[in-house]
Amino acid sequence: MQRFDKLFINGEWVPPHGSGHTTVFNPATEGEVAQVCNADLDDVNAAFAAARAAFPIWSATSAAERADWIRKLHSALERRKDDLAMAITQSMGCPLEIAKIIQVNCVKALEKFAGRAYEMEVEKRINNSLVVREAVGVCAFITPWNYPLYQLIGKVAPALATGCTMVLKPSSVTPLQDIIFAEVVAEIGLPKGVFNLLTGKGGVLGDAMVTHPEADMVSFTGSTATGKRIQQLAADSIKRVCLELGGKSPFIITENAPLEQAVSFGVKDVMINTGQTCIALTRMLVPANKYEEATQIAKKVAESLKVGDPLAKDTYVGPMSSMSQRETVLKYIQKGLDEGAKLVTGGLERPKGLTHGAYVKPTIFRDVHNKMTIAQEEIFGPVICMIPYNTIEEAVSIANDSIYGLSSGVWAGTQEEAIRIARRIRAGGCYVNGGDFNYDAPLGGYKQSGNGREWGEFGIHEFYEIKSMQL
Ligand code: NAD
């Protein structure tokens, strides 16, 4: 078992002021993977002091210098990709071969963020005014466990590009890839204090980070419940708060869509990462006259996905990220049954042959009404609700009947038809006719799914202030 006894503050590995360690568990084996030290409030203060001290110099570097640092970081991380993938698989269960793609490929986005550093040098003359961009300052970053490296890169890369300094706290479930990231920061010799890493419990460190007088901005990815609390806490100091929160995304399949292809896409979209994807299309909306056929296709596809050991090459569905997440998902499955939804496949029993570990069967519910709890709340597990509809009007209305608005999907007969429907859905994104994920496109939510946009050229906008000088 690995043991990590130090925090990364001011360019150095230092012993924490806090005491005790948090155990990282492997959700496939339930065994211990690592012990990671806990920071306390003094460590929070030390990390923000380091980030504040580094800010004047780092924010004054040229775009070319920062781009150079980001490229160095990119090359060094490329060399650690296997370690990063294994760290994620061991701590949250994403199958290794899949983790190499969906969890670790995001490293390549650093190259693009190096180029975006130059956007900070864009100036605009408006009559007698000169408008310039300046780094927002010291950032507090709090990230979740489901795509832990992706969430790190989505915040750290634009912050570096724009000249911000930062203090990052990963989820205590998955701190290992962040520790590798800090090792890489130390290896390339990034100026001290620009990047600081604290490990420990969100409940202990979160409030202090969010309310810290030296934090100019908070960027949080996680549940809507924690996001609400963070926004309230940060309100007192009017600091910028960027929230990337939960989702319950709809997927409208139209009558003239290729049913087999569309349903198969929808099932695999949810089951990857064992349903723990914020943008997963967990409400599948199907024309009533195609409903029976669609449920049969969904059953066949779900039952064809191999569930099991995340280290096995052919596994598609690993365990949930933790035993407590497994309990949460099972409670939702029970709730669905209690509310009258019917199982197409899956359910409460353990997948065959998996006597321990945080496994849940890929589960599909039919006869779901959109007002049911399982259609309204984010389950964050391998669970799909299939909902019938009669007209596109009704489908759009069901799609929008949610407190969330993170993502969506439409599969129609033509791209034009799908885009027309997509534009009527109140969500920050839409997957059109099976479109691919794009690291260069902005990602973020409407409604209670958040207020920020990460990735792509929009992903740096949150990290700068605009100054207007009247000449
Ligand atoms: P969570 O809200 O429980 O925890 C997220 C982070 O907040 C962790 O680092 C945790 O330690 C910290 N935290 C906990 N209590 C805190 C407090 N009181 N103050 C400050 N920080 C605190 O979320 P989770 O269970 O780790 O992640 C799953 C959630 O993240 C899902 O709802 C998912 O949809 C969402 N998510 C959203 C996006 C997006 O881009 N919108 C991406 C990934 C995940």
Write down the pLDDT at residue 212: 98
Residue nearest to atom 11 of ligand 1 (CA): 202
Write down the pLDDT at residue 256: 97
Which of the following CATH numbers is that of domain 2-245+449-470: 3.40.605.10, 2.40.110.10, 3.30.1130.10, 3.10.450.710? 3.40.605.10
Write down the pLDDT at residue 332: 98
* Distance from the Cα of residue 290 to its chain's centroid: 33
What angle in degrees, to the nearest 10, is found between the helix axes of 176-188 and 63-79? 120
Cβ-based burial of 195 (10 A; exposed 0-12, middle 13-18, buried ≥19) = buried
Structure tokens at 113: 């963020």
pLDDT tens readout for residues 153-198 = 999 999 999 999 999 999 999 999 999 999 999 999 999 999 999 9
Residue type, 142: I
**Mean local confidence (pLDDT), 277-281:** 98
Residue nearest to atom 37 of ligand 1 (CA): 245
Write down the pLDDT at residue 198: 98
pLDDT band at 141 (very low <50, low <70, confident <90, very high): very high
Write down the pLDDT at residue 8: 98
Average pLDDT, the chain: 98
In CATH terms, is domain 250-438 a member of 3.40.309.10? yes
Write down the pLDDT at residue 48: 98
Give CA separation, 277 vs 106, 148, 419, 435, 437, in Å: 15, 11, 23, 16, 12
Q: Judge whether 278 counts as a catalytic residue.
A: yes
The answer to whether the CB of 171 is under 6 A from ligand 1 is: yes
Residue 467 main-chain phi, psi, to 5 deg: -110, 135
**Mean local confidence (pLDDT), 1-21:** 96
**Mean local confidence (pLDDT), 359-365:** 98
Write down the pLDDT at residue 14: 98
pLDDT band at 125 (very low <50, low <70, confident <90, very high): very high
CA-CA distance, 302 to 335, in Å (whole number)? 21
The answer to whether the CB of 144 is under 6 A from ligand 1 is: yes
The preferred substitution site among 38, 44, 146 for testing ligand 1, maximizing ligand atoms within 8 Å of CB, is: 146
Q: Residue ranges per domain, the chain?
A: 2-245+449-470, 250-438
DSSP state, 255?
Answer: T
- Ligand 1 centre from 420 Cα, in Å? 33
Q: Judge whether 244 counts as a catalytic residue.
A: yes
Write down the pLDDT at residue 22: 97
% of residues, the chain, pLDDT over 90: 99
pLDDT tens readout for residues 187-214 = 999 999 999 999 999 988 999 999 999 9
The answer to whether the CB of 278 is under 6 A from ligand 1 is: yes
CA-CA distance, 99 to 148, in Å (whole number)? 11
Q: Are 201 and 23 in contact (CB under 8 A)?
A: no
**Mean local confidence (pLDDT), 276-281:** 98
Contacts of 77 (CB under 8 A, 6+ apart): 84, 107, 110, 181, 184
pLDDT band at 411 (very low <50, low <70, confident <90, very high): very high
Write down the pLDDT at residue 95: 98
CA-CA distance, 230 to 243, in Å (whole number)? 9
DSSP state, 437?
Answer: P
CA-145 nearest atom, ligand 1 = 26
pLDDT band at 453 (very low <50, low <70, confident <90, very high): very high
The answer to whether the CB of 217 is under 6 A from ligand 1 is: no
Q: Are 340 and 346 in contact (CB under 8 A)?
A: no
pLDDT band at 272 (very low <50, low <70, confident <90, very high): very high
The answer to whether the CB of 230 is under 6 A from ligand 1 is: yes
CA-201 nearest atom, ligand 1 = 11
The answer to whether the CB of 452 is under 6 A from ligand 1 is: no
Note the pTM of the prediction, 2 decimals: 0.97
- Ligand 1 centre from 343 Cα, in Å? 29
Q: Which one is catalytic: 106, 242, 278, 430?
A: 278
Write down the pLDDT at residue 3: 97
CA-144 nearest atom, ligand 1 = 26
Write down the pLDDT at residue 129: 98
- Ligand 1 centre from 171 Cα, in Å? 8
pLDDT band at 112 (very low <50, low <70, confident <90, very high): very high
**Mean local confidence (pLDDT), 249-273:** 98
